[in-house]
Chain A
Amino acid sequence: MAKLTIPAQEWVRSGHSACPGCAPALAVRLLLKGLGPRTLVSMPACCWTVIATPYPTTALGVAMLDNPIESTGASISGLRAAADALGLTDVNVVGIAGDGGTADIGLQAMSGMLERRTDAIYVMYDNEAYMNTGIQRSGATPWHAWTTTTPVGPAARGKAEPKKEIMPIVLAHHPVYAATVNPSFPEDFLAKVEKARDLHGPRFFHALTACPPGWKYDSAETIEIGSLATETGLFPLYEVVDERLRITRRYSRLKPVREYLDRQGRFRHLTEEEIDRVQATVTANWEDLLRREAAPPAPVATVALPRPTIAPPA
Chain B
Amino acid sequence: MTQQVLSGNHAQSEAVRLARVQVISAYPITPQTSIVEGIADFVAQGRLDAQFVKVESEHSALQVCVSAAALGARTYTATSSQGLLLMHELLHWASGMRAPIVMGVVNRAVAPPWNAGADHTDTVAQRDTGWIQLYAETNQEVLDLVLEAYRLSEDPAVRLPTMVTEDAFYLSHTVEPVDVPTVEEVDAFLPPRVGHAILVPERASRLGSFTGPEDYVRFRQDEALAMDRVRPTFASIESDFARRFGRGPGGAVEAYRLDDATSVLVTLGTATTTARSIVDELRREGRPVGLLKIRLLRPFPDHEVREALSEVDRVGVLDRSWTFGMAGAVATEVRAALYPATHHPPVTSFVAGVGGRDITPALVHRMFDRLDRKITPDPIWMDLEPAEVKVDG
Contact = CB atoms under 8 A, between A and B. Distances in A.
Are A and B bound to each other?
yes
Interface of A: 37-40, 42, 49-50, 52, 54-56, 58, 60-68, 70-71, 73-79, 81-86, 88, 91, 108-109, 111-112, 115-116, 310-314
Contacts of A58: 204-206, 209
Interface residues of B, number: 50
Contacts of A112: 55-57, 60
A81 B211 contact: no
B102 interface: no
21 contacts: A42-B67, A52-B209, A54-B211, A56-B209, A62-B201, A62-B202, A63-B206, A64-B208, A67-B63, A68-B63, A71-B59, A71-B63, A74-B55, A77-B64, A77-B67, A81-B23, A81-B51, A82-B75, A86-B195, A310-B51, A314-B46
Given A74-B59, A112-B60, A312-B49, A81 B73 contact: yes
B324 interface: no
A82 B206 contact: no
Contact of A82 (B49, B56, B57, B72): B72
A62 B203 CA distance: 6
Given A52-B206, A54-B211, A85-B50, 12 more contacts: A62-B204, A63-B204, A63-B205, A64-B208, A66-B209, A71-B60, A74-B67, A75-B63, A81-B64, A85-B73, A112-B57, A313-B46
A45 B192 CA distance: 33
A54 B209 contact: yes
A18 to B, nearest CB: 15
Contacts of B63: 67-68, 71, 74-75, 78, 109
A312 B46 contact: yes
Interface string B273-301: 00000000000000000000000000000
A77 to B, nearest CB: 5
A91 B201 contact: yes
A82 B48 CA distance: 15
Contacts of A115: 56
A54 B22 contact: no
Interface string B184-211: 0000000000010001111111111111
A85 B22 contact: yes
A111 B56 contact: yes
B210 A54 contact: yes
B172 interface: no
A61 B47 CA distance: 39
A86 B22 contact: yes
B60 A74 contact: yes
Nearest to B71: A82
B53 interface: yes
Contact of B209 (A55, A62, A73, A116): A55
A118 to B, nearest CB: 8
A246 to B, nearest CB: 30
Contacts of A62: 201-202, 204
Contacts of B71: 40, 79, 82-83, 86, 88
A16 to B, nearest CB: 12
B70 interface: yes
A66 B208 contact: yes
B207 A64 contact: yes
A48 B214 CA distance: 22
Contact of B203 (A63, A82, A111): A63
Nearest to B212: A54
B56 A108 contact: yes
Contacts of A64: 199, 205-208
Given A42-B67, A75-B63, A313 B47 contact: yes
B11 interface: no
Contacts of B204: 58, 60-63
Interface string B70-96: 111101000000000000011001000
A77 B55 contact: yes
A10 to B, nearest CB: 12
Interface in B23-82: 23, 25, 43, 45-51, 53-57, 59-61, 63-73, 75
A310 to B, nearest CB: 6
Contacts of A314: 45-47
Contacts of B45: 314
B57 A66 contact: no
A11 to B, nearest CB: 9
A74 B60 CA distance: 5
Contacts of B68: 78-79, 81-82, 85
Contacts of B25: 77-78, 81
B392 interface: no
A70 B86 CA distance: 12
A162 B184 CA distance: 61
B60 A55 contact: no
A86 B72 contact: yes
B90 A68 contact: yes
A116 B212 contact: no
A116 B93 contact: no
Nearest to A85: B22
A116 B202 contact: no
Name, among A62, A63, A91, the residue most crowded by chain B CB atoms within 10 Å (CB to CB).
A63
B215 interface: yes
A52 B71 CA distance: 20
A23 to B, nearest CB: 22
Nearest to A64: B206
Contacts of A86: 22, 71-73, 195
B89 to A, nearest CB: 6
Contacts of A38: 201-202
B73 A63 contact: no
A54 B212 CA distance: 8
Given A82-B22, A313-B49, A73 B199 contact: no
A78 B210 contact: no
B51 A84 contact: yes
A311 B46 contact: yes
A64 B68 CA distance: 13
B61 to A, nearest CB: 8
Nearest to A37: B202
